[in-house]
Amino acid sequence: MERIYSVGQVNTYIRTMFTQDFMLRRISVSGEVSNLKYHTSGHIYFSLKDVSGVISCVMFAGARRGLGFLMKNGQKVVVTGSVEVYERDGRYQLYAKKISLEGAGALYERFLALKEELEEMGMFSQQYKQPIPAYARTLGVVTAPTGAAVQDIRNIALRRNPFLQIILYPAQVQGEGAKESIVKGIETLDAMGLDVIIVGRGGGSIEDLWAFNEEEVARAIFNCTTPVISAVGHETDVTIADYAADLRAPTPSAAAELAVADVRGLLEQLALCRRRMEHALASKTEAARGRARQCRMRLSYASPESRIREKRQLLTDMERRLQEKMTDRTREYRHRFQLLAERMRGLSPLEKLCQGYSYIRDDRGRTVTSIRQTHRGSMLEIRVTDGSILARVEEIREERADGQEGTDSGGSI
Amino acid sequence: MDKKELTVEEAFELLDSVVERLEDQETPLEESFALYQRGMELLKLCNEKIDTVEKKMMQVNQNGELEEF
């Protein structure tokens, strides 16, 4: 009697067989993606197919690190993982640990590997980045002599600075020999001692841009003593060369903008600097002159010369006042003198004599003012204006205050 | 300082600080004269570095010589 097994027992048995199989535990399968479904849980369900058949695949959310791009139906991929049995459905599936694109995908893998390697060596380190000079007089360009890139760089560079010397190294930027040509170009231009070098090309497929992902090119950029600006493809294309360069420009046009200073702006800035300096110095000098003038004035006020002048002025003033006072006084005294003289003249006995009065003295020189001072026979001296008369008293008459006359002894003069 | 060693960039930076110092009211006159002279030298240097002669674009030919592009 044959033994009868349950479904579960069979599935478990098969699962165990799969698990024990060394090859199925780690296997890489290539095929085209179909029935792709990104589940909300984070798991990805899809099928791999080729001309001969189909295999179900799942990548669990926990293994998502093994997928570096967005999968799409129809992509040719290589899935690495294990083939195991899903007991419930009695199906086997490929449990994906890692998914990579075939072809371009492999290149991307190489890109990542090289990037990691060079990064670990420090070739992308910020400390080795050279500053791009603010004002470049000479610009080296390593790119294809044909194509838009070189024209874009030339147009923009010369528009910003028509006095710029551009030196092109016409390089082969894709295909066999491209990396050697680019390396030679970098080395040749570096030896010329230019101010800055642009290395790049226009857009293209990842294969077209591949030369800029080569280690030799990265090394040449890293070793270049002239600052290097990389400009490969479009904004979204990032190459190893970009990491190694001192500065990455998203496009060749942008590289020209970054490499070349706007010379008109620079010249204007210089002119402005000159004006500011001249103005600053002029106003300073003027201020200093003003202060000097002020000091000179204050000094001259304070100087002994001015004080002497002041004193001299004072002296002259006093002299004048003294003079005036003297004149006034003199005039005053002269006036008083005249008045007095006038009065004196009125009082002068001589004047009286002139009016017919005379003055009488006795023989002893005494002034005779009364009849009592003389007597008959005495000699009297009568003074008149021009001399004196000697006379003898003949008679004396008394004249009373009441007007009656009395005769004393006769005789009259 | 050897002026020959200055880049335009450095010269510009120096020029900026010279102008600022010169415009400072507190800067003494004597120093201002020196600053002005220094500034003029830097201007001259910058102007010399920015030569204003238009040039033809050149390319390196197969013999490593320069020729017009």
Among A100-104, A137-141, A194-198, A373-377, the minimum mean pLDDT is found in A100-104
- Whether the Cβ atoms of residue A167 and residue A223 lie closer than 8 Å to each other: no
The distance of A138 to chain B (nearest Cα, Å) reads: 10
How many H helices and E strands in chain A? 11, 15
Name the residue with higher pLDDT: A136 or B3. A136
- Split at pLDDT 50, 70, 90, the class of A402 is low
Q: What pLDDT, on a 0 to 100 scale, did the predictor assign at position A83?
A: 94
The distance of A166 to chain B (nearest Cα, Å) reads: 5
Over range A363-386, report the average pLDDT.
Answer: 87
- Split at pLDDT 50, 70, 90, the class of B62 is confident
Percent of residues, chain A, with pLDDT higher than 90? 49
- Whether the Cβ atoms of residue A201 and residue A147 lie closer than 8 Å to each other: yes
Task: Measure the CA–CA gap between A211 and A218, rounded to whole angstroms.
Answer: 10
Average of per-residue pLDDT values in chain A: 88
Task: Measure the CA–CA gap between A80 and A93, rounded to whole angstroms.
Answer: 12
Q: Of B46, B15, B39, nearest to A135 (Cα)?
A: B46
Contact between B54 and A263 using a beta-carbon 8 Å cutoff: no
Instruction: Report the amino acid identity of residue A384.
Output: V
Q: Where are the domains of chain B?
A: 3-68
A8, burial (CB in 10 Å: exposed 0-12, middle 13-18, buried 19+): exposed
Residue B1, pLDDT > 60, answer no
Contact between B59 and A280 using a beta-carbon 8 Å cutoff: no
Candidate from B29, B43, B54 with C-beta closest to A163: B54
Residue A399, pLDDT > 90, answer no
Q: Which residue of B has its CA nearest to A263?
A: B50
Element (H, E) at A40: none
Contacts of A280 in chain B (CB under 8 A): 19, 22-23, 32, 36
Q: Of A194, A192, A141, nearest to A170 (Cα)?
A: A141
- Whether the Cβ atoms of residue A213 and residue A114 lie closer than 8 Å to each other: yes
Q: Which residue of A has its CA nearest to B53?
A: A163
**CA dihedral sign of residues A268, A270, A271, A273:** positive
Contact between A164 and B55 using a beta-carbon 8 Å cutoff: yes
Task: Measure the CA–CA gap between A50 and B58, rounded to whole angstroms.
Answer: 54
- Split at pLDDT 50, 70, 90, the class of A409 is very low
Q: What pLDDT, on a 0 to 100 scale, did the predictor assign at position A331?
A: 93
Q: What pLDDT, on a 0 to 100 scale, did the predictor assign at position B3?
A: 46
Contacts of B66 in chain A (CB under 8 A): 167
Over range A92-102, report the average pLDDT.
Answer: 90
- Whether the Cβ atoms of residue B57 and residue A154 lie closer than 8 Å to each other: yes
Please, which residues 3-62 of chain B have a Cβ atom closer than 8 Å to chain A? 7-9, 12, 15-16, 18-19, 22-23, 27, 29, 32-33, 36, 39-40, 43, 46-47, 49-55, 57-60
Residue A182, pLDDT > 70, answer yes
- Whether the Cβ atoms of residue A49 and residue A34 lie closer than 8 Å to each other: yes
Q: What pLDDT, on a 0 to 100 scale, did the predictor assign at position A206?
A: 73
Candidate from B47, B54, B66 with C-beta closest to A167: B66
- Tokens representing A9 are 């027992």
Q: What pLDDT, on a 0 to 100 scale, did the predictor assign at position A105?
A: 61
- Split at pLDDT 50, 70, 90, the class of A7 is very high
Contacts of A21 (CB under 8 A, 6+ apart): none
Let me know the angle formed at the C-alpha of A180 by A175 and A181, rounded to the nearest 5 degrees: 75
The distance of B2 to chain A (nearest Cα, Å) reads: 19
Over range A133-139, report the average pLDDT.
Answer: 89
Q: Of A228, A219, A221, A224, nearest to A249 (Cα)?
A: A228
Contacts of A145 in chain B (CB under 8 A): 59, 69
Name the residue with higher pLDDT: A33 or A237. A33
Q: What pLDDT, on a 0 to 100 scale, did the predictor assign at position A413?
A: 47
Candidate from A133, A163, A167 with C-beta closest to B9: A133
Convert the pLDDT of each residue in A284-333 to its tens digit: 889 889 989 999 888 888 888 888 888 999 999 999 999 999 999 999 99
Candidate from A158, A269, A277 with C-beta closest to B36: A277
Q: What pLDDT, on a 0 to 100 scale, did the predictor assign at position A129?
A: 93
Chain A residues in contact with chain B using a Cβ-Cβ cutoff of 8 Å = 133-135, 137, 145, 154, 158, 162-170, 185, 188-189, 263, 266-267, 269-270, 273-274, 276-277, 280-281, 284-285, 288
Convert the pLDDT of each residue in A250-264 to its tens digit: 999 999 999 998 888
Let me know the angle formed at the C-alpha of A334 by A328 and A336, rounded to the nearest 5 degrees: 105
Contact between B58 and A189 using a beta-carbon 8 Å cutoff: no
Contacts of B16 in chain A (CB under 8 A): 273
Convert the pLDDT of each residue in B12-61 to its tens digit: 888 889 988 888 888 888 888 899 998 888 888 888 877 778 888 898 98
Residue A381, pLDDT > 60, answer yes
Candidate from B8, B32, B55 with C-beta closest to A281: B32
Q: What pLDDT, on a 0 to 100 scale, did the predictor assign at position A159?
A: 92
Task: Measure the CA–CA gap between A129 and A257, rounded to whole angstroms.
Answer: 19
